[in-house]
Amino acid sequence: MNNYYLELFEGRKNIIILPHILPDGDTIGSSIALFYALKKLEKRVYIILNDKLPSNLKFLNANSKIITTEDFEKLSIKPDLIITVDSSDIDRLGDRAYLLDLCSEVLNIDHHSTNTNYGKYNLVNSKAAACGEIIYELLKKLKIYIDKDIATALYVALSTDTGSFKYSNTTPSTLRIAADLIEKDIDFSFINTELYQNKPINKIKLLSDVLNSLELHFDGKLAVIYVTNDMLKKNKIDISDTDGIIEYARDIEGVNIAVLLKEFSDNTIKVSLRSKYDFDVSIIAKKFGGGGHKKAAGCTIYDTIDNVKNILLNTFRENFR
Ligand code: AMP
Ligand code: MN
Ligand code: MN
């Protein structure tokens, strides 16, 4: 990490942090860690996000550190620095992309290999398992003490993006950082219960419908599951609480690739892709304007859910060996 990033924080008072849309544990944990850390440098810090938080991350946002664009506009503040977190391209900022017009000083902190380096400053490391790792290193360089609150948020970032330290993105460095965070006296057991043993009952009911939608293709090597609008309505669950469902399809014996199609509206389908072995699903996601990592990627396709499935099956057929 080049040291010039350290000077970025000098003389800048108002700092905006932007997590990605449809937030997950890494983007929220990393943003909140950065929020606490920059507060220690006596900055005015605003995390701006209009999306709902998944219910298992709400414990991190006690005292509502996250505000909406509407709240922010009421403050009439001109930012001196904008930090995007875990967003491979500007589309991942959704309806907040206009905020980048307020200030050209943009620091893009990310770990996606598909990152487009859209910032004026790009702190992108695709070897990091989570943005939380990059932020941990940054705080060390800035000599900001990692207290219990920061450690808790960073631990959430690392744990969620590595599937609780199971996925192949987990490195010795990831585990060393996690060990250091645990030494900050974080409530390890509480955090894990909040994250993983705290699912809304309606999510479990939804799961039953989603599993019933399972289709296997290419001799059982590719699994497709669906979250339709009807399923969400029937089970009274918000789309923000559908994280992790794809894992049930990926974890089937013999399945190499899992596809989850989430219906946002009639012709807006959010596609999640997971790979278990060597197939790089980020290549497929990129073909449709999305991105991600080798084993976890996504994109949005504007068509009916059936057409999206067929388009994807054809694309996989061409690329599958
Ligand atoms: P998801 O399936 O939404 O959990 O996303 C899996 C991975 O792909 C995450 O690292 C996301 O940041 C990334 N990803 C998902 N959707 C998109 C998209 N539309 N554009 C770029 N990256 C994406
Ligand atoms: Mn993310
Ligand atoms: Mn991430």
What is the per-residue pLDDT across 11-42, written as a single tens digit (0 to 9) for each?
A: 999 999 999 999 999 999 999 999 999 999 99
Q: Whose CA is nearest to atom 8 of ligand 1?
A: 297
Question: What is the chain's pLDDT, residue by residue, as a tens digit (321 residues)?
Answer: 567 777 899 999 999 999 999 999 999 999 999 999 999 999 999 999 999 999 999 999 988 789 999 999 999 999 999 999 999 999 999 999 999 999 999 999 999 999 999 999 999 999 999 999 999 999 999 999 999 999 999 999 999 999 999 999 999 999 999 999 999 999 999 999 999 999 999 999 999 999 999 999 999 999 999 999 999 999 999 999 999 999 999 999 999 999 999 999 889 999 999 999 999 999 999 999 999 999 999 999 999 999 999 999 999 998 876
Q: Whose CA is nearest to atom 6 of ligand 1?
A: 297
Contacts of 72-80 spanning 24+ positions with Cβ under 8 A: 72/16, 72/46, 72/48, 75/46, 77/14, 77/44, 77/46, 78/14, 78/102, 78/103, 79/14, 79/15, 79/16, 79/46, 79/103, 80/11, 80/12, 80/13, 80/14, 80/15, 80/105
At 5 the pLDDT is 75
At 321 the pLDDT is 63
Distance 234 CA to ligand 2 centre (A): 28
Ligand 3 is an ion; its neighbours by CB within 5 Å are 26, 86, 161
Cα–Cα distance measured from residue 118 to residue 115, given in angstroms and rounded to the nearest whole number: 8
Burial class (CB in 10 A: 0-12, 13-18, 19+), 28: buried
- Give the count of beta carbons closer than 10 Å to the beta carbon of residue 1: 12
Cut 0.85: pTM above it: yes
Pocket of ligand 1 (CB under 6 A): 88, 92, 112, 272, 290-293, 296-300
What size, in residues, is the chain? 321
